[in-house]
Amino acid sequence: MEQNELIALGLRLVQAHAVGAASLDEFSLLGRDWTQLPEVFAPHLTGSTEFFSTHLPYPVGGSLLEVGSGTGVTAVTAALSGCARVVAVDISPAAVCNSLLNAECHRVSDRVRVLESDLFGALAPDERFDAIFWNSNVIYTPAGFAGSGPGDLHGAVFDPGYVLHGRYLREGPDHLAQGGRLLLGFNSLGDTPRLTDLASGQGLRMNCLASAARHSGGTPVEFRLLEFVPRGEG
């Protein structure tokens, strides 16, 4: 798909949030009920949250960092799936509030800590996890794309210049415990060659752990759960 078409698709998704999420304050997913706040990425509008929350290799008894937790579905599901410690971060204050609400509602606040953070910025430098995951804002735009701003819904869909993907791959490994896994929820609307180059620049290569063909906003999309491993390993 051409870049202009991808941007138009992303803008339609942002618009669908403005209409859909404003009128819906609850949804069901993965057999549970969830609160949806306005201005937060809405799992019922695409299948990505459900797909990744289902296929993530949760470190049972261990720790998970979810970057960009949105409504908190994945972070809460992680805690309910046996993770002993979950940290959920998001740059959007509305998403932080939404993740807190859903953690409370599902009674996992004792093991889900929620922080407002730009990627790893609010973590202690030595804070480490058995797995780190981000269902990322996959649509590439040129740097300085006028439509987007951090913390709003554009920031849940677009990554101008793929600056955030670059930082995720550069900074993520510093927060992994020994044997920890760096995971990314990606899809075919993203720029795979650019992501591959960024990974390669960090000495990493990508493995696809799970994929599925679905539709997102009427467009065919392939969801891909990726893992980054040092080149030469596994």
Residue from the set 10, 43, 59, 180 that interacts with ligand SAM by CB under 6 A: 43
Beta carbons of 132 and 180 less than 8 angstroms apart: yes
Residue from the set 9, 17, 87, 90 that interacts with ligand SAM by CB under 6 A: 90
Stretch that binds ligand SAM, among 8-16, 31-39, 86-94, 213-221 (CB under 6 A): 86-94
Binding status of residue 155 toward ligand SAM by CB under 6 A: yes
Task: Give the H or E element holding residue 226.
Answer: strand 219-230
Q: Number of H helices and number of E strands within the chain? A: 6, 11
Binding status of residue 10 toward ligand SAM by CB under 6 A: no
Nearest to 68 by CA among 144, 156, 143: 156
Binding status of residue 71 toward ligand SAM by CB under 6 A: yes
Binding status of residue 74 toward ligand SAM by CB under 6 A: yes
Binding status of residue 13 toward ligand SAM by CB under 6 A: no
Beta carbons of 228 and 200 less than 8 angstroms apart: no
Which residue bears the tokens 């998970």? 64
Cα(178)–Cα(19) distance, integer angstroms: 44
Q: Measured from the CB of residue 2, what is the shortest distance to ligand SAM in angstroms? A: 22
Angle at which helix 192-201 crosses helix 163-171, to 10 degrees, equals 40
Q: Which is nearer to ligand SAM, 49 or 141 (CB)?
A: 49
Q: Which is nearer to ligand SAM, 223 or 228 (CB)?
A: 223
Q: Measured from the CB of residue 43, what is the shortest distance to ligand SAM in angstroms? A: 5
Cα(215)–Cα(178) distance, integer angstroms: 37
Q: Which is nearer to ligand SAM, 55 or 205 (CB)?
A: 55
Binding status of residue 41 toward ligand SAM by CB under 6 A: yes
Nearest to 222 by CA among 180, 198, 192: 192
Which residue bears the tokens 């939404």? 98
The residues that touch ligand SAM, with contacts defined as CB under 6 A, are 41, 43, 48-49, 67-71, 73-74, 89-92, 95, 117-119, 135, 137, 155-156, 164
